[in-house]
Amino acid sequence: MKSTALSLIATPLLVIATLAGRIDAVARTAPDAERGAPERVASSGPDLAVGSISGITGFGALDGVAAYSIGTTACNLGDEMALWCATSVPGLCGPTQHPVTAQNLYRLSDGRFEQVGMSWLRHGVCALDSNFCGPCTADPFGCSALGAGCSDPYSASTNGTQSLLGPRSEVNASTGALLYPFAPPVAPTKLDRRIQVPLMVLDPAQNHGALYFAEAHYVSADDAAAGHANNNASFRQVLVGAFSNGAFVLQLTGSTVQQKHAIHAWKEHGLGIGLPDPEVSLQNIDVEGDGRFIVGHRVHDNRDGTWSYEYAVFNQNSDRAARSWRVPVPAGVTVTMQEQNIVNHHSGEPYSTAPWIMSTNMDALLWQTAAAEDDLEENALRWGTLFNFRFVADAPPTSGVATLGLLGSGPSRDPGVIVLGPSAPSCLADLSGDGTVDGADLALVLGAWGTSGSADLDQSGGVDGADLAIVLGSWGQC
């Protein structure tokens, strides 16, 4: 619960936000960059989705980082009104019963799909009943609800208004529960709370052939309660234009891909726009009593006796979050280039930005947070963010079970995820390469005793009795 002092500080923000929402509502119009509402089969209860990503605005750059925001049009695909209250409305709802909108930016390059930018949350403070989504049944409560079948547009500049952007840390994306009014510190720079993107990841000279995608994601309590929390995001391609006033100009192109998160672009456009990548696999991982993760993997044969293993783990709306990712790697497999890509929270969010710790043992690679397991401010994989994990191995792929380690407590155990990982060597103990395990291999193990190298069959860091046992256990085989 927030203190009385905090509520007093936040009250002016509530008034400003409400007035700004109503003023903006007068000027808002339906998207003009594209036409095409989501195909609507009316669902039971309120059902929010992003019908259009309609514009993108830049706010310049500081210290090599640029700031942007995107325009959105919400569609209520349900058969009941969606609540949009920023103040108490007797008989309808309270000030915490309204949607928030997350904005993200992603890069697809050389077979890798990475999140390169994220914003705070635009709080919805006034809904229009427009007909971009199709026939609209206007609600009787003015801008405190969005009618069934109706749409509500927000311009890119409005979605980038710093006073309307609240922390992600104050929202449970699984249930839609939120704190409001929010009372963050005053935004000291033009970057704060907006989508922050390093210029180097946009620079065409450093990202030849890269594709970029903007994503918008609505979260709302009544939508979640109706069981419709998993179709709330859409994405659209972004083009990088000229360098002007210290930053790259971004432009939208193509149509909005509705009711899908941007990670689907990895599969659908992995070899170029409209060219699917057959090496990419995506699957939904639903956590009991919580939200959803989307896990993707891609394995590429490098044609030199090694394979590149790439994993993208996206937390769609899990409030528990994830603190580790473990991939099985059999003994005898040589692993190099173990890496990660982590997008950081910013602008005063309470979370750490420390990188995850990468480690190996005899049967797995592990990435995990550096903090204690009960540290709720650690740099976990929070909702609306995507982390990448990758390595190169000298073994071809086979099906295995990776483990997604969850942060918070709950009824569900850490989920296992079926992915492709390195296969076991066909004859691990045949060190001499003569096709059988015999005295030559025993001599190599004994000669390397206490050292590291190829005779360290279990990759424990030194040749010892465990490696001798592997040779003796395989005697005469291969």
List the one residue out of 180, 233, 306, 239 whose CA is nearest residue 48.
Answer: 233
User: Which superfamily, per CATH, for 428-478?
Assistant: Dockerin domain (1.10.1330.10)
d(CA 116, CA 342): 9
Residue 32 has pLDDT above 90, yes or no: no
> Position 226: which residue type?
A
Taking the alpha carbons of 393, 395, 397, 398 in that order, is the dihedral positive or negative? Answer: negative
User: What's the pLDDT score for residue 22?
Assistant: 42
According to CATH, the topology of domain 279-425 is: Immunoglobulin-like (2.60.40)
Residues contacting residue 8 through CB under 8 Å, at least 6 positions apart: none
Residue 284 has pLDDT above 50, yes or no: yes
- The total of other beta-carbon atoms located within 10 Å of residue 70's CB is 29
Residues contacting residue 353 through CB under 8 Å, at least 6 positions apart: 344, 345, 379
> Position 407: which residue type?
L
**Which parts of 263-318 are beta strand (E)?**
280-286, 292-301, 307-315
Strand partners, 360: 365
Q: What is the pLDDT of residues 308-345, one digit of tens each?
A: 999 999 999 999 999 999 999 998 899 999 999 999 99
Residues contacting residue 162 through CB under 8 Å, at least 6 positions apart: 187, 192, 193, 194
Q: What is the pLDDT of residues 379-405, one digit of tens each?
A: 999 999 999 999 999 999 999 999 999
| Domain ranges for the chain | 1-273, 279-425, 428-478
Contact yes or no for 193/199 (Cβ under 8 A): no
Q: What is the pLDDT of residues 408-457, one digit of tens each?
A: 788 889 999 999 999 988 777 888 888 889 999 899 999 999 998 888 88
Residue 24 has pLDDT above 90, yes or no: no
